[in-house]
Amino acid sequence: MSEHLYPVNDLYTCVQGEGVQTGVAMVLLRLHGCAVGCPWCDTKETWEFAPENQVDTLAAALGANPRYVYLSATAIADYIQANHPGPQWVLVTGGEPAQYGLRPLVTAIHNIGLKAAIETSGTEVGHVDAGFDWVCVSPKLNMPGGKAIQPAALAVADEIKHVVGRQQDIDELDELLTPALKPDVHICLQPVSVSAKATALCLEVVQQRGWRLSVQMHKYIGVK
Ligand code: SF4
């Protein structure tokens, strides 16, 4: 059977700038493709699979651009091992990475001795039963792509990181918080686009509820 191939848009070493794992060094693996359509998305270049943007080598895909290359899980892991020593984690993100079956990728990451984390919108279930060591669901509700949040995607979350601009966003999050979630799930509120008004609202609610503030550290210290 041929190996499963993943469309890789970018791959680099960074420091996690958001959520519970803020400050942890990670290899960021960005998979191409997303149909959710968030208006504030800062990786819109990953949305479309234009044939002219498919390239043959990872070197040609790297960087913030719409190019992508199909690689096997083993090839991705081998590249990380050879070129990105240091971090103990690989963060699989996108795009929407959970639209792909991710168990082969997680297995390959584990085989090189690293831990695997994912960041997903909760609209797909490719991370469920894939063996991730950390699952962060950032639920994208009522977005133009019309994709619904999947309860199975949320049920395995170690962290729910919710982007907040107004009170309605808190109310919508409350509707998602059911007993089916992991009992020790971390709830993080993240002000949209580093807005002062949204930050004030998030500060108020995390103190009321005993939740956590996520402030997109990378935007304050000027790194990607
Ligand atoms: S789910 Fe993520 S990649 Fe997709 S549009 Fe929203 S922010 Fe962008």
Q: Where are the alpha helices (DSSP H) in the chain?
A: 58-61, 73-83, 103-111, 151-155, 167-176, 196-209, 217-221
- Rounded Cα distance between 107 and 113, Å, is 10
How many CB atoms neighbour CB 153 within 10 A? 21
For 185, half-sphere exposure in the C-beta direction (CA atoms, 13 angstrom radius) is 23
Question: Helices 167-176 and 196-209, interaxial angle, to 10°?
Answer: 40
Instruction: Indicate if the pLDDT at residue 183 is higher than 90.
Output: yes
Give percent of the chain with pLDDT exceeding 70.
Answer: 99
Task: Look at the chain and report how many structural domains it folds into.
Answer: 1
140 Cα to the center of ligand 1, angstroms? 8
Can you give the residue range of the structural domain that contains 99? 5-221
75 Cα to the center of ligand 1, angstroms? 25
94 Cα to the center of ligand 1, angstroms? 7
Contact call for residues 73 and 6 (beta carbons, < 8 A): yes
pLDDT tens for each residue of 120-177: 999 999 999 999 999 999 999 989 999 999 999 999 999 999 999 999 999 999 999 9
pLDDT tens for each residue of 104-124: 999 999 999 999 999 999 999
- Best probe residue, ligand 1, of 18, 34, 138, 150 (max atoms within 8 Å of C-beta): 34
Assess whether the C-beta atom of 98 lies below 6 angstroms from ligand 1.
no
27 Cα to the center of ligand 1, angstroms? 19
Contact call for residues 119 and 136 (beta carbons, < 8 A): yes
Cβ-proximal residues to 191 (8 Å cutoff; 6+ apart), any chain: 163, 164, 165, 198, 199, 201, 202, 215
Contact call for residues 143 and 160 (beta carbons, < 8 A): no
Span 30-59, mean pLDDT?
96
Amino acid identity, position 198: A
Let me know if 57 is exposed, middle or buried by CB neighbors in 10 A (0-12, 13-18, 19+).
exposed
Assign 219 a pLDDT band (cuts: 50, 70, 90).
Answer: confident
Burial 171-210 (b: 16+ CB within 10 A, else e): eebeebeeeebeeebbbbbbbbeeeeebbebbeebbeeee
pLDDT tens for each residue of 50-60: 999 999 999 99
User: Which tokens belong to 52?
Assistant: 């002219």
Closest of 168, 162, 203 to residue 185, by C-alpha? 162
- Kindly state the helix (H) or strand (E) to which residue 135 belongs, with its residue range: strand 134-137
Instruction: Indicate if the pLDDT at residue 223 is higher than 80.
Output: no
Assign 40 a pLDDT band (cuts: 50, 70, 90).
Answer: confident
- Best probe residue, ligand 1, of 68, 127, 140 (max atoms within 8 Å of C-beta): 140
- Rounded Cα distance between 111 and 113, Å, is 5
Query: Which CATH number goes with the domain that contains 92?
Result: 3.20.20.70
